[in-house]
Structures are given as C-alpha cells and as structure tokens.
Structure 1
C-alpha cells in the first residue's frame, strides 16, 4: 500500500505567512543555501543576497574581462548590455559557487561571481542568437539545462499568440546544443529525485510536460518519451516548479496567483489561491479564446506574491517555502508539511 501523501488535507494558512527582504525589484527566482542565505534575482540588474539574520545587500552585475570561448561579445559590449538591458531571471549555482544567470534582458547565459563580476557563457546556438533565455538548472553531472521561451521578437507576441517555438538546451562537455523543441513558451525545468525525467513548464500550454533522460550514449544525453504530466490545462499559466521529497511537484500559476501541486500520480491540488476570482476567471477565459489583453493581465494579481512566479524550498530542514514574484517587493514564506527535494548545490554543501 502506497505511503500517505504529506499534502493530504494541507492548504497554506494565510495567517502563518511571513515575509523576508524589503524593497526588492522583481524577485522572480530565489536560491536558498543550507546556512539560511537567500539569493534572488533583482530587476535593478543583479541579485540581492539576504543573510540568515535578515540583512541584505544588492549586488549589481558588471562586465568581467574573462569570456568563454565562442562568445561573440566583448567586455565593452557586455557592459553596454548590462547597463541598458539586463534582467536576471532564472538562477542556479555553478559547481564553484558562482551564479549562473539566464538573462531575460540580454538574451545571454551568463555566470556571475558573488561580488557581481559577470561574463558571457553562451550567446549563440547553432550559429544563431539563443533567443529569449528564461531559466537555468544544473544537475548532479554538472550539466547545465537552459530553457528558451521563444525566438520571436518581441517575446510578448509569442506569449499572446501561444507560439510554439520554445526549446530546451543543455551544456555538456563544453558544448551548448538543443535537446528538445516545440514548446509553448518554455519556462522553468526540474529533474526528479533520480534524474530520470526532466519536467518542463509550458507557460502558454498551459501545462507541464516531461521527458525521459536517455543516458545510453555517454557522449551526450538525449530526451525521449515526451508526455504531458497532469492536466492538459492547469487552470492558469504555470511559471515556476519545485519538487518536494515525496515526489509532489509544486507549481505557481502566475497572474491568477495560485500555488498548486501535482502528486506523483498527476492529480492537481490547490494549496493556496491568492488571486482575484473575477479577474482570474476573465484572464483564463480570454487566454483560452486567444483574446487576452494587457489590461486583463494587469487586473489579475494577488496580494501575497503578486504575479507569483516561483517556489523554493529552504530552511535547515527544507520545510520553509519561499514564493518569488514579478510584482512583489518582498519574499513571502511559510512552513510545509513535507521537506523539499534537495537541489544539487544543497546536497554538495551537506
């Protein structure tokens, strides 16, 4: 008989939600370390480090002279991009503790030291500009998984028209290559505990897709057996995902501002609904009809983590859940009945 799911009967108690951080700008992605330190993307052009004692420091990106082979940018060109258009989005820790940055503004995969020195890792793939870089993830074999939402410019057109040109790429043996494509605005990705499946957010799907890792060729990993995991329509547009230790996949639905979970069997459970019911219903209806307008998006938001964009497990026991957002200025958090699945950097630190 399967073990009971720790999420059985659980919903987030709004009265128990607390916040950390202040005056943040677009804290979309959050990284947690075992010592209690948080790192969040910041629209001012860098990251904000929040120590366990609550003190915080903004660390702005600045161009470094060191560049990876194959990158077309010069230090001067990168400095210009960082000055005029940087927008750190997805973050991950490199093996040495530096921060990998999928930059939604510069359309680059970058690496930033903890004091802000930034260099380009990749700016092109198959001879073409990468596109609208969204998220980055490192696995236990030190491969870097990168998602690109679209190559359409402006990206807002691709999102509104549900263009299906998003893709997933991987950096393996020093080379960036496409491993899967044809997604509706690719967003966050996560690997399950055994790193057997890659779970892929299709924001305008609006669904979660998963693909099996084929490791039969040691020279390069492949993705196979593509399938939708859970409902084909999640009731809102998914953005961020994270696994807990039981195998539930937690997911934020941005703008309708709902936190849900997909059980290992793919059953959808609502854990927190902070959206405005009328605005959310209107947004989903217009999205489905292909008539969504900017004003529909602006009206649809909650108050806890407005435009809820990501979910991160942290705290000494990995039972503290942090919510990232696009319109928030602080980071809400609450306690979970189940710990999160330790990420690669967490396992290495432990």
Structure 2
C-alpha cells in the first residue's frame, strides 16, 4: 500500500452512511469471505460446499464441487445444510463450510473449510480436491483463512484445535497457528495464537499481519525470504473493543477491521488511532456478550443472540470496483453482501497485480 503519512487521512471524520449502503446477491448461505476481480466479478464462500459467483448486472451462479479421489468422481451438491439448523451451521460447524478463500497462481480457488477442517482446491468449474488434512501427523483443526504471496506460496491459519471451537472463547487456549505450503511441503511457521483468523501482508511482504480474534487484537511478524516468521509484536492497541475477524489495508495505510458478533467496522490508522466507521451493534446483546467474555462463560445461545441487522456476524471485508474504492462486507449469517463507497482505495490483492 502507498502510505501518505504526511497527508490528511481520508478516513478522519468520515463514517459509512447507512443510507448509501447497497446489497449484492440474494439467498446466499454464509458468505463469510469475499473475493473481487478487476472485471467486476465478486465471489463469496457458500455453505452448500462451494462458492457463489456474482456480478452487479444480476448474474449469480452457485458453483458446488465435484469431489475427486482415486476411485470415483461425484458430481453435484454436497453437504447441503438446513437454513433452520443454526446451531449445526454456526456453532457446531457440521458439514462442509467453506470459510476463507484465495486464488492460487492458476486462478483456482483455495478454500479453508471450517466444517471439514481441511484445505481444499476447487477449479472455477467446480472440480474439487482436498490438498491437506493433517500436519505433523495430526488433523489440522479449524482451518480458517488462506493467502497467496508473490512467490506463489500458500499460507493459511488454523484458529484453534479445540472442539467445539466456541469453547476456545472461554479457555483462550493459545493453540492457533499458521502454516506455509511451498515446494518443500507444508510446515507450521508460527504458533501460540489466541483464535488465529485472517492474515495479510504489507505490499513488500516484509510483515505478516495476524488477527487474534479471541484475544481481541492484531499481531504481526517479520517475514524471512524462506517464509520463516520472527519478531512477533502487537499492532495497534493491546486490546480492541471486540472480536476482530477480517481485515484489509487501504492505500493510505489504514487497517480496516470487522468486529464479528457486534457487527462493527473499525480502522487502525498508521499512527495507531482507532476509528469507528460503522456500528450496527445492539447495546443490550453486546453488553451481555462482553460480560460473558470477561467471565469466561460465553455460550452458543449468547453468541446466537448477538448480531446486527445490516451484515449479521460481520466477518470480512474486501475492496473492489474498478478503482478499488467499493467495500464489500462478508458475514456468517447474512443472505446478501452489503457494499458502499470508500473515500480511499484498498490495497491491491495479489490476484489484481
């Protein structure tokens, strides 16, 4: 990103105008992660096991995987979950639940599957393969988010090895980690995180930024040429005002962050100030959740009752549009994708360059 630290921050005294928010898509299921492309195509994860491909002209296509293995090829819908079974979908994480997405160097979609705990790859036509199920002889845990770097390597996060994952909110188990997949295979390059979630690089790939959702903070680590990580530190405040989930840099150097459950959109400016851009929280349910968090007694019922109306369980954000000034918001419980215009462009993702 191009940081203009000596100029006026375009987000200073700016907030999202709720009346200017528009929506893309319909009848979506768990559009947790959003990917955008320069031609205006928008992709989202989908709880039916694949992705949704959309454009602003109304085009919407669900791409469900065909499962490939050594013995057979199975076409069609897999692991379709009932909309009524919220506990299975959002807390117990039963079935195939594509979570984080990225494009590999060939344009195929890398999927961190929150339901199967695997890393998968799917072509844009829906041909699915499972590429990683374990590391060091152990199952992966709750795979969350993949990311490609300029060398074509795939990085991904595991939020927790705790089952059910929601127990980790109370235990604060430091069992999250980051894996790097390269020509040598897959290896853990950093561990000991509290609820590892999304990861992002700065433009030069000198730092890897890490969301620690249940520690309410952002960390970052220096990146060596071989992918080793070191010099871990907290970026911004020691503790944010809620559960960070997804994040993205803009061209000024602001780090935009979604706070899930309370459905807030904030930024950490280059000088470390925290600004609130959108607050769709409910004061009553937010207070109850935060009290339970402090007392380590969060329950699925408390989580399920805490959400906003615009983008319930706001989980991610992505910049898109021809000028990268359209912000799309992903969610776990929404059925469409809110979007609005930003006064500053976003950082170009690797597949835009």
The two structures have a TM-score, normalised by structure 2, of 0.91
**C-alpha distance after superposition, 1:274-293 (max 9, x if no partner):** 01012112211221221222
> Shift of the alpha carbon at 1:130?
1.4
Alignment of 1:32-111 (within 5 A): 32-65=36-69, 83=79, 85-111=95-121
Q: Deviations over 1:129-168 (max 9, x none)?
A: 1111110000111111110011122222223322110001
Partner SS state of residue 215, structure 2: coil
2:32 alignment partner in structure 1? 28
In structure 2, the CA distance between the partners of 1:81 and 1:212, relative to structure 1 (3 Å rule), is farther
Listed as ranges, the gaps of 5+ residues in structure 2 are 81-94
Aligned residue number for residue 333 of structure 1: 339
Q: 2:48·2:79 contact (CA, 8 Å) conserved in 1?
A: no
Q: Is the 8 A contact 1:81 1:106 kept in 2?
A: no
Q: 1:117 to 1:80 in 2, by over 3 A?
A: closer
| 325-334 vs 189-198, which moves further | 189-198
Number of paired residues? Answer: 335
Partner of 1:158: 168
Choose which of 233, 245, 248 in structure 1 pairs with 2:254.
248
Query: Which range is displaced more, 284-293 or 253-262?
Result: 284-293
Residue 155 of structure 2 contacts residue 181 of structure 2 at CA under 8 Å; is this kept in 1?
Answer: yes
Residue equivalent to 2:310: 304
Aligned match of 1:143 in 134, 141, 153?
153
Q: Is the 8 A contact 1:183 1:202 kept in 2?
A: yes
Match of 1:270 in 2: 276
Give the equivalent residue in structure 2 for 1:185.
195
Are residues 109 and 82 of structure 1, via their aligned partners in 2, closer, same or farther at CA, if it must alter by over 3 Å? farther
Of 207, 214, 234, the match for 1:204: 214
SS at match of 2:121: strand
Distance 1:80 1:86 in 2: 14
**Alignment correspondent of 1:288:** 294
Match of 1:221 among 201, 224, 227: 227
Task: Describe the shift of the 1:21–1:346 C-alpha distance in structure 2 as closer, same or farther (beyond 3 A).
Answer: same
Give 1:79 deviation, angstroms. Answer: 8.9
Q: 1:181-200 deviations in whole A, cap 9, x for unaligned?
A: 00111110001122111110
- The alignment yields a C-alpha RMSD, in angstroms, of 1.9
SS of alignment partner, residue 303 of structure 2: helix
Displacement, 1:82? 5.1
Whether 1:176 aligns to 2:190 is no
